[in-house]
Amino acid sequence: MKVLKFGGTSVGKPERMRSVEQLCPPKEPVFLVLSAITGVTNALVEISALATNGELTQALAKVGDLETLHRNFASQLYAQPHSLEKAQTFLTQEFGKIRATVETKSFGITQERILLAEGEILSTHLFSFYAQEVGREAVLLDALSFMKIDENEEPVLEHIEQHLQVVMQKTPHTQLWITQGYICRNAQGEVDNLKRGGSDYTASLVGAALRAQEVQIWTDIDGMHNNDPRIVKNTFPIAELSFDEAAELAYFGAKILHPATILPAQKYNIPVRLLNTMQPEAQGTIIHNAVQNKGIIKSIAAKDGITAIKIRSSRMLLAYGFLRRIFEIFESYKTPIDMITTSEVAVSLTIDQDKHLEAICQELEKLGVVEIDTDQTIICLVGNQLSQAQGLTAKVLKAVEELPVRMVSIGGSAHNISLLLPSSHKNYALNVLNEGLFTKQAQHSSY
Ligand code: ADP
Ligand code: ASP
Ligand code: MG
């Protein structure tokens, strides 16, 4: 079984949705995970914000726009009036539910999550009517009946595995399974989601639950590029990445993958292939256990919204147990630390969740003088066995020599060098690093 996930742009137009069907091999079992039509989740976020602020008229006007979008989409998708009729009946029913949710008197987080789930519910229904129209024996599975997260918002793989088996056993001869990406139930059994971009994560969780042969992430670009193509010109796709390299890139901001996508696939050694719906013949990127191309940087990613915290204390000098006390404070506020650098009298570390920043700082102040820098960006350079590459660190630092680099982290793992700098310098930094590391000369040199 292969798991194929198609993102928002890949189902974003009726003709694209038709090509999704064409890309599903006809003679082997395929499990399809679909995102909402491009822009729909953003619109649902806006509608929720309006409803939360009591701006009901504007919220309902936007619901009207979404309904028109889906009705126009349906009217272009199908060849047979019968399919269109099915879709129109479904849309009437679903938009009735959406309006009722928006009109809920005490609209809150529960209603917001119910609304956010609608994008994927709509797109998967429209697609499954199409699959039936072209004669596929397709079965649409409700992701809410098997996708689950716990009280820490972590997916519960055993639950997913067991419940997926139960629902799939009802129609064992099906060749094309379809489900919604992104959506799930939480520990309270309410509708919830895997955070923005979460359909990738659904695909790898389903892949792990089914011990799939391969997970394919189909998107609008021909694989993982060597740098962020939205910021740097002339980036190029990378043919092969290891699980660790890809996980690092996804976690540190390569938008092509949800940050947690790699972990479930890696657990069961399931290859993940990144492919382009608009250019299906392109090779894309394969992510697997391979360890090749030692000592070169393969790709650069950047993660914004980082806060740097420095704790300075002379008590640290020749003392032990100081770091433990610092880490315990972050642990008690369930706030993960990304980067860390130390000197004999100070520690600098970064977090990307500042929900408890004030409380954390109050506690840290008992240990030393605390300084905070907000609006920072981590730039993460990823490759394999980077410590074996002579002169590589010098090359990286040379590229950013004009920039106010706040932290540097090397040696934490064999495949990562991280830099922290103010977000205002991010675009420039990505470009100079690109020039310094990926010019033709750099690519072919062995460092
Ligand atoms: P989908 O809607 O299919 O999930 P996304 O928009 O989430 O697609 O991800 C694809 C986009 O990720 C690309 O269009 C590209 O702009 C962006 N991106 C950012 N960094 C990278 C990278 N290193 N390699 C490829 N794409 C990247
Ligand atoms: N539709 C969701 C989003 O836009 C999930 C996804 O596309 O992966 O974030
Ligand atoms: Mg995405």
Q: Using one digit for the tens of pLDDT, what is the confidence trace for 420-436?
A: 999 999 999 999 999 99
Q: Which residue CA neighbors atom 5 of ligand 2 most closely?
A: 197
Residue 6 CA, closest ligand 1 atom number? 3
pLDDT tens sequence across 291-318: 677 778 999 999 999 999 999 988 776 6
Closest CA to 5 of 127, 186, 90, 157: 127
Ligand nearest to the CA of 39: 2
CA dist 119 and 134 (Å) reads: 23
Mean pLDDT of 180-208: 98
Ligand 2 binding pocket includes 196 (Cβ within 6 Å):
yes
Phi, psi of 30 (to 5 degrees): -130, 135
**Residue 441 pLDDT:** 42
pLDDT tens sequence across 207-239: 999 999 999 999 999 999 999 999 999 999 999
Ligand 2 binding pocket includes 181 (Cβ within 6 Å):
yes
- Distance between Cα 256 and ligand 1 center (Å): 3
Mean pLDDT of 250-270: 96
Residue 36 CA, closest ligand 2 atom number? 1
Strands 176-180, 138-141: pairing kind: parallel
Ligand 1 binding pocket includes 9 (Cβ within 6 Å):
yes
CA distances to 48, 97, 179, 180, 209 from 40, in Å: 12, 16, 17, 14, 28
- Distance between Cα 67 and ligand 1 center (Å): 27
pLDDT tens sequence across 115-145: 999 999 999 999 999 999 999 999 999 999 9
Of 313 and 444, the one with more pLDDT: 313
Give the tokens for residue 385: 């066995």
CATH of domain 2-220: 3.40.1160.10
Question: What is the CATH topology of the domain spanning 297-445?
Answer: VC0802-like (3.30.2130)
Mean pLDDT of 177-192: 98
Q: 442 falls in which pLDDT band (50, 70, 90)?
A: very low
CA dist 131 and 87 (Å) reads: 12
Sign of CA dihedral 238, 243, 247, 248: negative
Ligand 1 binding pocket includes 34 (Cβ within 6 Å):
no
Single pTM value for the model: 0.94
Mean pLDDT of 103-115: 97
State the chain's mean pLDDT as an integer: 94
**Residue 368 pLDDT:** 93
Ligand 1 binding pocket includes 229 (Cβ within 6 Å):
yes
Task: Pick from 9, 48, 182, 201 the residue to mutate for probing ligand 2's pocket: most ligand atoms within 8 Å of its CB.
Answer: 182
Domain ranges of the chain: 2-220, 297-445
Ligand 1 binding pocket includes 350 (Cβ within 6 Å):
no
Ligand 1 binding pocket includes 220 (Cβ within 6 Å):
yes
**Residue 446 pLDDT:** 32
| Residue 187 buriedness (CB in 10 A; 0-12 / 13-18 / 19+) | middle
Residues within 5 A (CB) of ion ligand 3: 7, 197
Q: 290 falls in which pLDDT band (50, 70, 90)?
A: confident
Chain centre to alpha carbon of residue 429? 23
pLDDT greater than 90 at residue 388: no
Sign of CA dihedral 386, 388, 389, 393: positive
Residue 38 CA, closest ligand 1 atom number? 2
pLDDT tens sequence across 328-354: 999 999 999 999 999 888 999 999 999
